[in-house]
């Protein structure tokens, strides 16, 4: 076990967030880097471990392998079977979660200070020595198959699936990371070890820790927990080409309320106009009860319970999307109003009041996110995954403040296009025709 003191390379005090947060970049003796915020008020530590690439690193023909592997990590490892691992976790009152998305595989841990070393040893077994034994694999496979079957009957999942297929085609983004019933059925134990080797490697690792732990303690923890992972994994997938076209796609489904997902091309977080688009999105559809779409579709007309838009910035593609649900008889009007608002927004005309309200919300809400060790750990991991500098927290609000009406107008005209908007409608919409694709 390595217990050598290490160098805290960089410490930075961020004045803006709620509690003045001091982020320290810690590099372990073995060379693993993590961002740390020490908070010794409550005797536990929140730890976030992310591997870039996530489920998009599935090997060709093995869709669903990384997801199934992730869900099976805790089902037996080292000297413990599945139940033994769960018992050991309970006995330490540690909490581990294993999850995977399109862009990263995420492990979140909460560990009490009083038994943190034991909790780390336990988690290490799942990360380094998982069994993927056939019985556990088949049991978890059954759970995944059940989710796939449920998604096939769930209007929200059907809409999401259709939209991603239209947008991204054959790229991994174009299909569910769960895989299909057939692809999951065919996965073997060997595929699990391969899937793990593709994604769980040190060259794509992002770590953050917040809580009752010092830099020295974290350094030792990193080497103990992650030092024996392989150095490299599979090459990252290519950028996803966006195949979206304007129009409407209807998926017939017998349900009283239609689910709608709509979207068009978006922009990357490092785009010079990103913050202008971010503010515009707030005005258009992100601002809850204050947004234009909520006012027009819900408050004035009662056509939906809620409508939201979001800038989706994945690692390998960007879209500007939104969603709502509306009774089959009303959904045509809701789509029409949405498209009209989109066209209005595309003109780029926002009032001074809209702009200043959006900015005060965004700048005021940002510090409120830093509330609790778990949230801060997740934010620090997200910053690293998005290649943000360690002082991003200090500059972020200034970037929001700097957005002018001209900036908003420019990005609106450049990007927003009601004719480029694709609506995917799942239900029995009255008066909505899908185009042939």
Partner 1 sequence: MVRASLAAAFLWFVAAPLWASPVSHFTLENGLEAVVIEDHRAPVVVHMVWYKVGSADELRGKSGIAHYFEHLMFKGTDTMAAGELSKTVAANGGSDNAFTSYDYTAYYQRIAADRLELVMKMEADRMRHLKISPDDWKTERDVILEERAQRTDSDPGALFGEQKNAAQFLNHPYGTPIIGWRQEMEALTRDDALAWYPKYYAPNNAVLVVAGDVTPDQVRTLAETYYGVLAPTPDLPERQRPQEPPQLAERRLVFPDARVAQPYLSRSYLAPERDPGDQKQAAALTVLAEVLGGNSATSVLGRKLIFGDGSAIYASAYYDGMAIDDTTFNLAVMPVADVTLPEAEAALDRALADFLKEGIDPAQFERIRTRIRASEIYAQDNTEGLARRYGEALASGFSIEDVQSWPDVLMSVTEEDVMAAAHAVFDKRHAVTGYLTRPEQEAAQ
CB of 69 closer than 8 Å to CB of 123 = no
341 φ, ψ (degrees, to nearest 5): -65, -35
Q: Give the range of 56-64, 163-171, 243-251, 282-290 binding partner 1 by CB under 8 A.
A: 282-290
Residue 98: strand pairing partners: 107
110 near partner 1 (CB under 8 A): yes
90 near partner 1 (CB under 8 A): yes
The three-state secondary structure class of 392 is: helix
Q: Which residue lies nearer to partner 1 by CB, 104 or 326?
A: 326
Distance from the Cα of residue 380 to its chain's centroid: 13
Q: Which residue lies nearer to partner 1 by CB, 303 or 385?
A: 303
361 near partner 1 (CB under 8 A): yes
Whose tokens are 């591997």? That residue is 51
364 near partner 1 (CB under 8 A): yes
Give Dmax over CA atoms of the chain in angstroms: 70
Q: Residue 162 is encoded by which pair of tokens?
A: 């259709």
Q: Which residues of 236-274 are buried (b: 16+ CB within 10 A; e: fewer)?
A: ebeebebebeebbbbbebeeebbbbbbbbebbeeebebb
Q: Give the range of 12-20, 30-38, 182-190, 406-414 binding partner 1 by CB under 8 A.
A: 12-20
Q: Which of residues 28-47 bind partner 1 (CB under 8 A)?
A: 39, 41-44, 46
* Among positions 95, 180, 386, 394, the unique one binding partner 1 when judged by CB under 8 A: 95
Q: Which residue lies nearer to partner 1 by CB, 173 or 262?
A: 262
Shortest Å, Cβ 74 to partner 1:
8
22 near partner 1 (CB under 8 A): no
The three-state secondary structure class of 116 is: helix
* Among positions 52, 224, 292, 298, the unique one binding partner 1 when judged by CB under 8 A: 298
* Among positions 129, 150, 188, 395, the unique one binding partner 1 when judged by CB under 8 A: 150
**H/E segment holding residue 250:** strand 247-252
Shortest Å, Cβ 169 to partner 1:
26
Q: How far apart are CA 215 and CA 11, in angstroms?
A: 11
Q: How far apart are CA 301 and CA 343, in angstroms?
A: 19
Q: Which residue lies nearer to partner 1 by CB, 121 or 154?
A: 154
Q: Which of residues 314-343 bind partner 1 (CB under 8 A)?
A: 325-327, 330
CB of 36 closer than 8 Å to CB of 212 = no
Q: Which residue lies nearer to partner 1 by CB, 7 or 365?
A: 365
Q: Which residue lies nearer to partner 1 by CB, 140 or 205?
A: 140
Orientation angle between helical segments 189-199 and 134-151, nearest 10 degrees: 80
Q: Which residue lies nearer to partner 1 by CB, 299 or 406?
A: 299
What is residue 244's DSSP assignment? -
* Among positions 19, 185, 239, 413, the unique one binding partner 1 when judged by CB under 8 A: 19
Question: What is the chain's length?
Answer: 437
70 near partner 1 (CB under 8 A): no
Q: How far apart are CA 351 and CA 290, in angstroms?
A: 14
367 near partner 1 (CB under 8 A): yes
Q: Which of residues 118-137 bind partner 1 (CB under 8 A)?
A: none
257 near partner 1 (CB under 8 A): yes
Whose tokens are 């009490």? That residue is 112
Q: Which residue lies nearer to partner 1 by CB, 228 or 299?
A: 299
Q: Give the range of 5-13, 188-196, 239-247, 357-365 binding partner 1 by CB under 8 A.
A: 357-365
Shortest Å, Cβ 42 to partner 1:
5
- Alpha helix positions (H), 41-115: 65-72, 82-91
86 near partner 1 (CB under 8 A): yes
Long-range contacts of 283-290 (CB under 8 A, 24+ apart): 283/345, 283/350, 283/354, 283/355, 283/358, 283/408, 284/309, 284/341, 284/342, 284/345, 285/309, 285/310, 285/322, 286/310, 287/358, 287/361, 290/357, 290/361
* Among positions 175, 183, 264, 304, the unique one binding partner 1 when judged by CB under 8 A: 304
Shortest Å, Cβ 303 to partner 1:
7
372 near partner 1 (CB under 8 A): yes
278 near partner 1 (CB under 8 A): no
Shortest Å, Cβ 92 to partner 1:
8
Q: Give the range of 160-168, 170-178, 249-257, 269-277 binding partner 1 by CB under 8 A.
A: 249-257
254 near partner 1 (CB under 8 A): yes
Residue 389: other Cβ atoms inside 10 A = 10
């Amino acid at each position: 076990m390595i217990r050598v003191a290490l160098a805290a390379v960089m410490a930075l005090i961020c004045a803006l967030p709620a509690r003045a947060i001091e982020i320290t970049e810690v590099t372990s003796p073995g060379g693993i880097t993590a961002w740390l915020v020490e908070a010794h008020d409550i005797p536990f530590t929140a730890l976030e471990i992310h591997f870039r690439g996530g489920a998009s690193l599935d090997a060709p023909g093995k869709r669903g392998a990384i997801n199934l592997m992730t869900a099976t990590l805790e089902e037996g490892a080292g000297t413990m079977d599945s139940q033994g691992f769960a018992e050991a976790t309970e006995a330490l009152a540690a909490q581990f979660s294993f999850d995977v998305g399109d862009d990263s595989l995420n492990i979140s841990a909460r560990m009490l200070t009083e038994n943190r070393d034991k909790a780390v040893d336990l988690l290490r077994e799942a990360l380094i020595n998982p069994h993927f034994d056939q019985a556990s694999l088949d049991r978890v496979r059954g759970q995944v198959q059940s989710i796939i079957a449920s998604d096939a009957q769930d209007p929200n999942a059907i809409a999401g699936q259709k939209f991603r297929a239209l947008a991204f085609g054959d790229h991994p983004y174009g299909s569910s990371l769960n895989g299909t019933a057939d692809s999951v059925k065919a996965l073997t134990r060997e595929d699990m070890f391969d899937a793990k080797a593709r994604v769980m490697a040190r060259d794509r690792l992002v770590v953050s820790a917040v809580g009752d732990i010092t830099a020295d303690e974290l350094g030792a923890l990193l080497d103990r927990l992650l030092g024996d992972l392989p150095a490299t994994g599979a090459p990252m997938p290519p950028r996803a080409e966006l195949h979206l076209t304007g129009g409407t796609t209807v998926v017939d489904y017998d349900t009283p309320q239609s689910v709608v997902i709509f979207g068009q091309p978006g922009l990357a977080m490092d785009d010079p106009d990103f913050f202008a688009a971010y503010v515009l999105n707030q005005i258009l559809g992100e601002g809850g009860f204050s947004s234009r779409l909520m006012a027009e579709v819900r408050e004035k007309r009662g056509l939906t319970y809620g409508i939201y838009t979001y800038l989706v910035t994945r690692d390998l593609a960007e879209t500007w999307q939104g969603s709502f649900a509306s009774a089959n008889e009303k959904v045509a009007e809701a789509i029409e109003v949405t498209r009209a608002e989109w066209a209005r927004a595309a003109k780029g005309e926002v009032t001074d009041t809209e702009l200043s309200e959006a900015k005060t919300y965004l700048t005021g809400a940002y510090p409120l996110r830093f509330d609790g060790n778990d949230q801060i750990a997740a934010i620090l991991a997200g910053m690293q995954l998005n290649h943000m500098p360690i002082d991003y927290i200090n500059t972020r609000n200034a970037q929001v403040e700097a957005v002018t009406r001209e900036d908003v107008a420019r990005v609106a005209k450049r990007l927003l296009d009601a004719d480029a908007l694709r609506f995917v409608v799942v239900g029995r919409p009255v008066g909505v025709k899908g185009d042939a694709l």
